[in-house]
Amino acid sequence: MHRSLVLALAGALALMGATSLHAQAAPVGGPEDRDVRALIDGMRDASTWGHPDQFGQYQGMAAYASGDYAKAMRLFTIGARYADKVSQLSIGLMYLQGQGVKRDPVKAWAWTALSAERGYPRFAATRDGIWNTLSQTQRTQAIAERDTLAATYDDAHAKPRMIAELRYYRSQITGSHTGFDSGVDHVAVGPSGTAGAGCLRAAKVGLRGAGCGSSDMYAEEQWDPKLYFQTRDAQYQGTVTIGALQPGHPAPAASAAGR
């Protein structure tokens, strides 16, 4: 399994800092590997009721970790359609590495450009790193591909879909604390046959689900669109350290790489 993608998407647990565009995997079985496995297990078990962006991201990561790249791509596309920038980054990195799809650096840049739309530093660094590997012809193609994808997946189009989902599912909360999780096609079920054990595994690694009968299901930041996006964005905001400049292609114009 190519673990660089898994590490790149684990920003909420500060695992993201251990990787880069050309990261080397740590020895299997080491502390980092155990942390990643715990995160993936938590994603697989997390409740995603009413949150298709989380469903696509979490279950896509679980499929990716198991080596089912075709399934991962389908799931990440669901997340991407509902404004999940992690899913968009995942698709871009899979195109970059040729996992489940033919390797295509043009599409890789286009997807990572969308993922960097909100200015997440590491996402932008990944976008710019790919840009620096492209020829001028590929850059022209990449901008056109990004613009085509934007008509479906940029925030102007994807956020309204996600907001509609949040508002609809919020209206379905009846006040019961028994907990359930339609999760599109996934229910977190532990060894005892209840959702509790799975939810505990998800909570242990810092994943807050909207179901599982916990107070999280009723938390305002789970349903209020403004608070929800602020909370999700905060996971990936931060700073990056830029090393010494290396010879390469000229830096991309702001209107191309940054928009």
pLDDT value for 33: 67
Structural domain contains residue 17 = no
The whole-angstrom separation of Cα 58 and Cα 64 is: 10
Structural domain contains residue 30 = yes
The whole-angstrom separation of Cα 229 and Cα 225 is: 6
**pTM, full prediction:** 0.72
Alpha carbon of 109 to those of 64, 84, 87, 113, 196: distances in Å?
20, 17, 14, 6, 40
Q: Which residues of the chain have pLDDT under 50?
A: 1-8, 10-31, 176-197, 200, 203-206, 210-211, 213-214, 240-252, 254-256
Structural domain contains residue 38 = yes
Q: How many domains does one find in the chain?
A: 1
Torsion angle in degrees (nearest 10) through CA of 31, 207, 90, 142 = -130
Structural domain contains residue 12 = no
Q: Domain span at residue 196?
A: 25-238
Structural domain contains residue 213 = yes
226: left (phi over 0), alpha (psi -120 to 50) or beta: alpha
Structural domain contains residue 4 = no
pLDDT value for 98: 92
The whole-angstrom separation of Cα 65 and Cα 68 is: 8
Structural domain contains residue 14 = no
The whole-angstrom separation of Cα 31 and Cα 99 is: 26
Residues 154-166: pLDDT tens digits? Answer: 999 999 999 999 9
pLDDT value for 207: 56
pLDDT value for 42: 72
Structural domain contains residue 9 = no
pLDDT value for 41: 74
pLDDT value for 74: 95
